[in-house]
């Protein structure tokens, strides 16, 4: 039995063992007691989300993985009754004890649900419960909520003391700015509280440094009838403490920033020791304190600060300053605080503490690969300096060595795929472009990256490839979740030397298009991508990611050549730069993912990805490294990487990675993720997709995209995954199974005697381990 198959069997045994344990979930349920097996809430006629109601239950059943198996309870039940044994204590600490039905907790749940419904405007809501006792010591609880007629907001009024400044900031004559409180909406206590916080933030962004939502409160008048409530917003005066200890109520004041003090702490600073600091003034309004020598240039700090002296306090600018400072790689952390000077001018001083991180780091990564039984390994070495010029510039140097066995080659000295590479890059934390004003560069909060890469690849009996790349790009973030990348220039020179055996196969005219991908070429491209990603936002239940990207190559060079060189109409030879033809194409890509939170331990994730690459002008084919491929850990996981497509093309003798690439990509995935024990997660997934060529190529029969029948060539796969989330990175194992293989459309046993394809493209039984399964190892989620 192969190692891959052993892993699958081990995984299956564990799942079966847990399932069998879950078949007797009442093992530790005492006599005359019941396991809380199911809870249902019926709140028909209300607009309240059922998931929100579930949060207010005092007792919920044991967690079910995939909504079916009580995984944690199963682990708990695997323990013995002798609690003195270490193994039993460990299993119980990992697992989850059975939830024993408690009538008092049901009563408390009724009251919690009723209180929550009232907070949402259903003042007359009534909650009742019923219990059904099943066989084998199980209980089901059903809550019925009669919401009644909801109360809605009638009028919204404001009671603000005579304060012209406050009136102008809140726009009281024109109504509250951007308010969500509207006549006719439900009388929702949470919405009213959010409005208080929103108004408080609105004021803190306009100079009211000491303002918080406790200065705002409501009165509600429900006597107007017809289930309406008039709401009045009140502003409390500011309570000021006088020198004699008495309190005086006054109007709220707006504060201005007087001076900024920046302290650069050393990594050896101790809070328990007095540290002597040197002082320098960068400008009239900013003072920098440091020990021995500042690790950041004052001009860099000034560029990242949005806070300005002699201006009104603005909480938004403070948050932006935090974000920009913490994005500097050299900083471990930063702290911004304000001191009320308590003078007649209502001024505050700003103190900023900067704590440095380790400026240098080294990394060593070892990786293993397995492609259709061919094992390989890779070694990655890295060095980074996060403050090379005292401006948080990041210098990175990387080196890579990898090799992989290549089956079918008898010469032991030449049976390995070899991959060598090096990368030197530097990133500046600012937008580097001439003639731009400081305010513009500050607003876009961009960084500029320069990179030089070299790669050397040898594939036995195929080719020897050398690649040299230089690039310059801009990266910036807007409003936290929006990320932009502008590849201003990406110059890539590829030199390829093909093997005689490769030339003997691809010398035929029908391989002419593919052969162009394996000749010397030059790529001068530029691109732009936009991405939105709120998956790091902890408070959001459902999360979204989408990305759009466009890349264009060769247009500028083609225009220059047209002006510089005159060609006859019959001359079909491509333009060349230094005897090397350059590529010309346009490439578009789009990705969308939606992560739906079912509960604290279960998520359902949807993903769709599309792409198209079109060669034109000076090229008849897109370079191989820019084409799409099917299968792999992030594609249709029933296929190994580069073994799917294009269309219904298939290579019977071996996986021909040269021909299995395309110009059009479509990928759709649905994945159910559930938390298991410790750091383990499980997943069940369904993948669909394929790649196609734009042109009809004799070397890739049945691979061209056709709008009329492409849907018949969409491959399907399903499978299970096991993941280990270590916070900073996630290790993933996915086992994919072919469900619908478009390569088998119209084929039969006679066409492929070694494959069980006589049943056509659908694969439900009689599966072959070698042909129908694929095991993937990867780092990070697939989408």
In this structure, are residues 558 and 618 in contact, taking their beta carbons and an 8 Å threshold?
A: yes
Give the pLDDT confidence of 56-79 residue by residue, as tens digits. Answer: 999 999 888 777 778 788 888 888
Q: How far apart are CA 526 and CA 302, in angstroms?
A: 32
Across all residues in the chain, what is the average pLDDT?
84
Q: Minimal CA–CA distance to 734: which of 645, 612, 632, 630?
A: 632
Give the pLDDT confidence of 244-265 residue by residue, as tens digits. Answer: 878 888 889 999 999 999 999 8
* Helix (H), strand (E) counts: the chain: 14, 31
Q: What is the pLDDT of residue 23?
A: 57
Share of the chain above pLDDT 90, in %: 41
Between the CA atoms of 191, 189, 197 and 58, what dihedral angle is there, to the nearest 10 degrees?
-100
In this structure, are residues 534 and 481 in contact, taking their beta carbons and an 8 Å threshold?
A: yes
In this structure, are residues 214 and 201 in contact, taking their beta carbons and an 8 Å threshold?
A: no
Tokens of 479: 């409003």
Tokens of 538: 């902890």
> Within a 13 Å sphere around the CA of 431, how many CA atoms are in the beta-carbon half?
21
Give the pLDDT confidence of 717-774 residue by residue, as tens digits. Answer: 999 999 998 877 788 899 999 999 998 887 654 554 444 444 578 887 767 777 788 8
pLDDT top residue among 164 and 410: 164
Please count the other Cβ atoms lying within 10 Å of the Cβ belonging to residue 513.
Answer: 18
Tokens of 410: 């008898």
Q: What is the pLDDT of residue 275?
A: 62
Query: What band does 4 get if pLDDT is binned at 50, 70 and 90?
Result: very low
Query: What band does 685 get if pLDDT is binned at 50, 70 and 90?
Result: very high
* Residue 130: pLDDT over 60: yes
Pairing of strands 360-371, 152-159: unpaired
* Residue 106: pLDDT over 50: yes
| pTM for the whole structure | 0.78
In this structure, are residues 255 and 209 in contact, taking their beta carbons and an 8 Å threshold?
A: yes
* Residue 476: pLDDT over 70: yes
Pairing of strands 585-599, 602-615: antiparallel
Give the pLDDT confidence of 138-148 residue by residue, as tens digits. Answer: 999 999 999 99
Q: How far apart are CA 775 and CA 637, in angstroms?
A: 8
Give the pLDDT confidence of 502-555 residue by residue, as tens digits. Answer: 777 766 666 666 676 678 889 999 999 999 988 766 666 788 999 999 999 998
In this structure, are residues 630 and 688 in contact, taking their beta carbons and an 8 Å threshold?
A: no
Give the pLDDT confidence of 381-408 residue by residue, as tens digits. Answer: 999 999 999 999 999 999 999 887 655 5
Across the range 149-177, mean pLDDT stands at: 77
pLDDT top residue among 55 and 416: 55
Across the range 573-586, mean pLDDT stands at: 88
Q: What is the pLDDT of residue 2?
A: 44
DSSP assignment of 128-150 = EEEEEEETTTEEEEEEEEE--SP
Query: What band does 1 get if pLDDT is binned at 50, 70 and 90?
Result: very low
Across the range 48-53, mean pLDDT stands at: 84
Greatest mean pLDDT among 104-118, 415-429, 432-446? 104-118
DSSP assignment of 561-608 = HHHH----TT--PPPEETTEEB--EEEEEEEEEEEEEEETTEEEEEEE
Tokens of 448: 């500029």
The neighbouring-strand residues paired with 278 are 290
Question: b/e string for 63-75 if b means 16 or more Cβ within 10 A?
Answer: bbbeeebbbbbbb
Tokens of 513: 């298009």
pLDDT top residue among 84 and 8: 84
Query: What band does 775 get if pLDDT is binned at 50, 70 and 90?
Result: confident
Tell me which long-range contacts 173-178 makes (C-beta under 8 A, separation of at least 24).
176/233, 177/202
């Amino acid at each position: 039995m192969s190692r891959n198959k052993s892993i699958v069997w081990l995984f299956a045994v564990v799942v079966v063992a847990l399932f069998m344990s879950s078949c007797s979930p009442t093992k530790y349920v005492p006599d005359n007691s019941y396991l809380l097996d199911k809870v249902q809430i019926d709140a028909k006629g209300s607009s309240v989300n059922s998931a929100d109601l579930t949060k207010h239950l005092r007792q919920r059943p044991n967690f079910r993985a995939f909504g079916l198996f009580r995984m944690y309870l199963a682990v708990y039940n695997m323990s013995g009754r002798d609690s003195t044994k270490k193994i039993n204590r460990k299993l119980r600490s990992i697992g989850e004890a059975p939830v024993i039905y408690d009538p008092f907790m049901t009563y408390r749940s009724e009251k919690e649900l009723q209180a929550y419904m009232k907070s949402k405007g259903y003042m007359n809501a009534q909650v009742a419960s019923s219990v059904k006792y099943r066989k084998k010591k199980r209980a089901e609880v059903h809550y019925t909520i009669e919401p009644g007629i909801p109360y809605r907001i009638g009028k919204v009024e404001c009671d603000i003391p005579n304060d012209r400044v406050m009136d102008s900031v809140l726009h009281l004559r024109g109504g509250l700015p951007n308010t969500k409180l509207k006549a006719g909406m439900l009388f929702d206590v949470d919405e009213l509280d959010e409005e208080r916080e929103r108004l408080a933030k609105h004021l803190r962004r306009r100079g009211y440094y000491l303002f918080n939502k406790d200065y705002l409160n409501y009165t509600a008048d429900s006597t107007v009838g017809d289930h309406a409530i008039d709401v009045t917003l009140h502003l409390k005066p500011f309570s000021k403490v006088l020198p004699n200890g008495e309190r005086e109520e006054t109007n709220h004041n707006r504060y201005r920033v007087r001076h900024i003090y920046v302290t650069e702490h050393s990594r050896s600073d101790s809070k328990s020791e007095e540290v002597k600091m040197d002082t320098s003034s960068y400008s009239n309004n900013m003072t920098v304190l440091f020990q021995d020598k500042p690790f950041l240039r004052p001009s860099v700090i000034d560029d990242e600060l949005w806070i300005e002296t002699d201006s009104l306090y603005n909480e938004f600018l403070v948050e932006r300053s935090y974000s920009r400072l913490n994005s500097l790689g050299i900083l471990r952390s930063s702290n911004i605080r304000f001191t009320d000077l308590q003078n007649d001018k209502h001024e505050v001083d700003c103190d900023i503490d900067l704590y440095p991180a380790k400026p240098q780091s080294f990394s060593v990564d070892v990786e293993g690969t397995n492609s259709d039984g061919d094992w390989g390994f890779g070694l990655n070495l890295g060095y980074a300096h996060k403050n090379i010029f005292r401006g948080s510039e990041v210098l990175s140097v990387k080196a890579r060595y990898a090799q992989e066995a290549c089956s079918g080659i008898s010469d032991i000295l030449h049976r390995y795929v070899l991959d060598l590479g090096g990368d030197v890059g530097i990133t500046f934390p600012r937008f580097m472009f001439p003639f731009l004003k400081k305010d513009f560069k500050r607003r876009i909060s961009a960084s500029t990256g320069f990179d030089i890469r070299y790669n050397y690849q040898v594939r036995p009996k195929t080719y020897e490839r050398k690649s040299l790349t230089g690039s310059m790009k801009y990266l910036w973030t807007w409003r936290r979740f929006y990320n932009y990348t502008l590849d201003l220039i990406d110059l890539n020179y590829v030199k390829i030397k093909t093997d005689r055996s490769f030339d003997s196969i691809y010398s035929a005219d029908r391989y002419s298009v593919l052969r162009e991908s394996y000749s010397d070429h030059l790529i001068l491209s530029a691109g732009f991508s936009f991405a939105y990603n709120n998956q790091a936002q902890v408070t959001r239940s459902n999360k979204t990611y989408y990305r759009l990207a466009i890349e264009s190559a060769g247009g500028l060079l083609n225009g220059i050549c047209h002006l510089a060189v005159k060609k006859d109409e019959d001359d079909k030879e491509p333009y060349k730069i230094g005897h090397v033809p350059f590529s010309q194409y346009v490439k578009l890509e789009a990705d969308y993912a939606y992560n739906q939170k079912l509960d604290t331990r279960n998520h359902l994730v949807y993903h769709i990805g599309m792409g198209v690459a079109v060669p034109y002008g000076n090229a008849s084919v897109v370079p191989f490294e820019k084409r799409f491929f099917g299968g792999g850990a992030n594609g249709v996981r029933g296929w190994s990487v580069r073994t799917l497509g294009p269309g219904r093309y298939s290579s019977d003798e071996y996986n021909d990675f040269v021909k299995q690439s395309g110009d059009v990509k479509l990928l759709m995935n649905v994945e159910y993720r559930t938390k298991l024990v410790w750091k383990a997660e499980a997943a069940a997934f369904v993948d669909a997709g394929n790649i196609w060529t734009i042109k009809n190529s004799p070397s890739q029969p049945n691979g061209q995209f056709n709008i009329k029948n492409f849907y018949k060539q969409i491959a399907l796969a399903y499978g299970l995954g096991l993941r280990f989330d270590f916070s900073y990175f996630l290790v993933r194992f996915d086992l994919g199974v072919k469900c619908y293989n478009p390569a088998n459309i119209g084929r039969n046993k006679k066409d492929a005697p070694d494959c069980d394809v006589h049943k056509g493209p659908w694969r439900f039984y009689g599966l072959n381990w070698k042909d129908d399964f694929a095991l993937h190892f990867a780092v990070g989620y697939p989408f």
